[in-house]
Structure 1
Amino acid sequence: IAMENSTDPTAMNFILLGLFDYTKTHRVLFSLVFMTFIASLVGNILMILLIHTDPRLHTPMYFLLSQLSLMDLMLVSTIIPKMAANYLLNSRSISPAGCGSQIFLFLTLGGGECFLLSAMSYDRYVAICHPLRYHVLMSHKLCSQLVAGSWLLGGIDGLMQASAALSFPYCHSREIDHFFCEAPSLMRLVCADTTVFEFFMYICCILMLLIPLSLIVASYTLTTCSSHLVVVGMFYGTLMVIYMRPRSYQSVGHSKVVSAFYTIFTPVLNPLIYSVRNKDVKGAFRNWLGKTHAM
């Protein structure tokens, strides 16, 4: 009997095979990933609080940075808690609604971050190359529009791809060899022609990855922000490996490892890259510690 004809509602659920086994080595790796998740939560929440509470950080640059921290915070919260709960409870099931939510939120936040990073690179270019015209070229109104556009474009892409991915018939195994629901991994289970959808996904990647990346590379090359380029390269590079490489060339194990970089490790690196060498952020942190200690 096909799973679609089963009267058991849980039979319609997908099965996430996960990233780790229950060996000693994998338990250590899981612990490291979970600690990275906690560090990402703490780092990004702290960045948001500092930028919100310190008047010196109420500038377009830090407003964009706070939105980046918010996206990273939501991204890791979309993926890691479910993965951790499944591993600890030895339960691998996820409902179609839960799977669709992960696809939508991941693409909304990932796509939004692609556009937001390009907006941040434009901000740095203007600040360094046109400092006298900075407040004209990078007004608060334009900054708000760039942020709103990033969220909107990411949301449109997430809604379209999540709706399309879940509209296909899954008439064979519902086991997803991944640690979260990601559209390319879900396509391996489809028993229908996905050529049109994969072409559409490829076009979206060109618009949301290659074009923003080209702008970022051009602006950061002019302003020599090499440390930022490292994180940007990791984020965009790993996304392109998953979403722009033909499915026939993708190894399941390799895909999971690559996906771990932009869902687990990049969100914890962003607060470090954008704050450790930043005197304003370090000053705001010292003031916050002083006020906390005084209380």
Structure 2
Amino acid sequence: MRLDNNSFRLAESMPAMDAVFLAWNYIGNRDAKRMIFHYLTTTARAAVAKADVVLCNTFEELEPDIVAPYSPASSILPIGPLRTWQRLTSEAPAGHFWRADDKACLSFLDAQPYGSVVYVAFGSLMVMSPAQLQELALALLASARPFLWVFRPGLTTKLPTAFTDLLPHHERSKVVEWAPQECVLAHPAIGCFLTHCWWNSTLEGIRNGVPLLCWPYFTDQFTNQTYICDIWRVGLRVMPKGNDGIVTKERILERLESLLGDSGVKERVKRLKDLAEKSMREEGQSLRNLNAFIESMRK
């Protein structure tokens, strides 16, 4: 590993990363940071060292310097992008947390114009302050764009009154506690994805060719944001301008409009989508890797 001016490269062929955004720097207090640092540098590393192969939900064209056979991490075998929602099963889709029977958001999307909807979802762990939540809520209303917001229990105590009072007057909006995310992101009405940048959400957005508006919360979400914005260039950051850490309504609106108006981002994410689809076709590298792994387990 080489470190230059707070940036580092794990190998010469790999892109530079800012050390400020290492996973343990966004986990809370000093004790929590030490715990994550210890886990990543000892426990996880030791587990990987003992493994013959590490299966990863990614594809070679997305991270060529990581998964190529000649790379320092040559034991990594990409088998993605995986599609859990296409399983033929009566059970709830993998990865859902709330209500697997809520299809109302899909009916809502069916009624919206192509590429118009802002999809907002922050996963199962992110928490927002009431002040920040109000800025986001009012920005969504002020955008005059249709939006689908997954407002899960636990994001904060409740929606701001200013938002709930105005929401009935915003004709093209829907707030749900749960959404079938993979189905939502595959819908042609989706224009962009406001996301916390957890890896599954990142890959789901890319696989469906959806531009990403990045609002990371902790751990590797900041690293994923770097890849999204600086390396793949398929999204933009949502970052506060002031010292109070609050992203204002105006800032959110500016970032949202910049992303939706960026044809370059749309072209690049469309290219990654095509590569992702190719990787899982019959002759795709990821599918070949998965089949080879299954055959090795049968021996």
Tell me the TM-score range normalised by the shorter chain.
under 0.3
Identify the structure with bigger relative contact order (alpha carbons < 8 Å, sequence gap 6+): 1
TM-score scaled by structure 2? 0.26
When you count strand as a share of all residues, which structure comes out higher? Answer: 2
Structure 1 or 2: more helix by fraction:
1
